[in-house]
């Protein structure tokens, strides 16, 4: 990608974040208006922190980075979600709606360690948010509304971490395994273990 194309795409980042965010809120609310408040908080902590973590780590490596939605992934997610909602009563979620794109104009090789750490940053952030939310959920007396918000936050963050750590392109787990399979195994194992706790 040349710099002009990158700069043009960068301008649309806020719009791309907003569209992806709204689609994920619909999916995680199971298309049920009563679930929207819980899904809003959960997706805010899960999706935005995930993508911003990727972007921040990429920029710390000196790369230019921005989030770009994937319209095909959005359509697949909505159609798959609606279809499973109608057929089964619950929404199955396909969460590949976009990605952080990295622009490296002066680097002509792929730094597997850098790409691995950038890829790990998103799921690691989800694991941290999910774990902290789980600690609060288990240790404090909460109102039913606050309990449901935190429970949804735990589930969405840990599910998103696990899903993204699957070792297939274009998911984050692919780059993490190419960098360090031990780190990948520990990360996906922790995400799955914590996901099963609530």
Q: Which residues are catalytic?
A: 51
Rg (CA), the chain: 17
Tokens of 45: 């902590």
CA of 97: how far to CAs of 13, 22, 93, 143, in Å? 13, 11, 11, 33
Q: Which helix (H) or strand (E) holds 102?
A: strand 98-103
Please state whether the peptide bond connecting residue 165 to the residue before it is cis, i.e. omega within 30 degrees of 0.
no
**Residue 190, CB-side half-sphere exposure with 13 Å CA sphere:** 17
End-to-end CA distance of the chain: 43
Distance CA 114, CA 28 (A): 31
Exposed / middle / buried, residue 31 (Cβ in 10 Å: 0-12, 13-18, 19+): middle
Tokens 């099963």 belong to residue = 196
CA 67/CA 144 separation, integer angstroms: 35
């Amino acid at each position: 990608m040349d710099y002009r194309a990158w700069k043009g795409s960068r301008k649309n980042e806020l719009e791309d974040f907003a569209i992806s965010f709204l689609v994920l809120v619909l999916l995680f609310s199971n298309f049920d208006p009563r679930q929207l408040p819980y899904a809003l908080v959960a997706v805010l902590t899960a999706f935005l922190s995930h993508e911003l973590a990727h972007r921040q780590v990429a920029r710390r490596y000196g790369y230019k980075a921005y989030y770009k939605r994937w319209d095909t992934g959005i359509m697949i997610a909505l159609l798959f979600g609606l279809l499973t909602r109608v057929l089964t009563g619950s929404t199955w979620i396909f969460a590949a709606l976009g990605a952080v794109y990295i622009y490296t104009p002066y680097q002509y090789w792929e730094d597997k360690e850098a790409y691995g750490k950038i890829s790990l940053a998103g799921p690691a952030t989800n694991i941290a948010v999910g774990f902290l939310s789980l600690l609060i959920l288990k240790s404090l007396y909460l109102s039913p509304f606050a309990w449901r918000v935190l429970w949804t936050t735990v589930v969405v963050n840990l599910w998103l971490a696990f899903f993204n750590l699957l070792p297939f392109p274009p998911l984050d787990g692919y780059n993490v395994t190419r960098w360090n399979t031990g780190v990948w195994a520990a990360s996906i194992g922790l995400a799955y273990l914590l996901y099963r706790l609530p």
